Amino acid sequence: MQVISSKDNETIKYIKKLKEKKYRDETNCYIIEGIKLVKEAIEENAEIKYIVICEDCEEVVKLEQNLLYDIAKNNCLYVTKKVFLSISDVTTPQGVLAVVEKKNNTNKINYNEDIIIALDGIQDPGNLGTILRTVDSADLKQIILSKNSADPYNPKVVRSTMGAIFRVNIIEAENLLDTLKEVKKHNFEVVVTSLDTNESIYNIQYKNKVIVIGNEANGVSKEIQEIADEKVKIPMLGKTESLNASVATGIMVYEYVRGKLGN
């Protein structure tokens, strides 16, 4: 077994470049890190180019035998701790990461789902990752993402998804306004979150709706609000006027789930 000990190794330099969006876009690949994500990637049959294993990291020796067996079926690279730390994106790495090809996501919207979540300029990687995880937990298979949102393949986003990145179709809209106008042609209503309404999220039917969650600082853009069929807000009992974007998404998605369960 050859162990890579030089940071100047060409494959290591390639992996390190994937920390930048520019190279992720050019190569159509991204990095996943940690035992759980690598395991999920294998289980979901993701296109794995490399699995990198830290030869002298303590966490690696704790890997389950069956996971080690599955890892070994892939193109594995063994590296020293020094080299692994140079490509890792976390403070205390678990000693295993992988380079994965992006899914062949289609920009074709599936209109068979009851609701579609659309994100208008979400900037925080943690918020985006959590929203993807929430959508996945409700068994929704797609999300529409405006071009000016955070990169869904940013390492922090990927970690926050906890594996949802492998299951949710990410539709990156070149122009979200035009995409929503097209969605409306398929008998979907556009619902936006807004403070300028008395309509509660608890008073609408979660069927044939595209729910738009806005930018953390400015909310849903004015032009999208203008084409909205309904404006709703989450009722607040305290002095706080608005919630974190991922929390707001979670509340609305689970109002949909509650309706599906018939409660």
Q: Domain ranges in the chain?
A: 3-101, 115-261
State which amino acid sits at residue 223. Answer: E
d(Cα 97, Cα 79) in Å, to the nearest integer?
Answer: 11
The single-letter DSSP state of residue 101 is E
Q: State the Cα–Cα distance between residues 124 and 40, nearest whole angstrom.
A: 24
138: Cβ contacts below 8 Å, ≥ 6 apart:
253, 254, 256, 257
Backbone angles phi, psi at 211, to 5 degrees: -100, 120
Instruction: Single out the residue of 140, 148, 153 nearest to residue 112, CA to CA.
Output: 140
List the structure tokens of 77. 């690279």
What tens digit of pLDDT does each residue of 142-198 get? 999 999 999 999 999 999 999 999 999 999 999 999 999 999 999 999 999 888 888
Predicted local distance difference test score (pLDDT) of residue 230 = 95
pLDDT value of position 144: 97
User: What is the number of helices (H) and of strands (E) in the chain?
Assistant: 10, 11
Residue count of the chain: 263
pLDDT at position 186 = 96
Q: Check residue 57 and give its pLDDT.
A: 74
Residues of the chain with pLDDT under 70: 1, 58, 60-62, 105, 263
One-letter identity of residue 55 = E
- Domain 115-261 CATH assignment equals 3.40.50.1000: no
Q: Going by CATH, does the domain composed of 3-101 fall within 3.90.550.10?
A: no
Q: What is the pLDDT of residue 241?
A: 76
Give pLDDT, residue 129.
Answer: 96
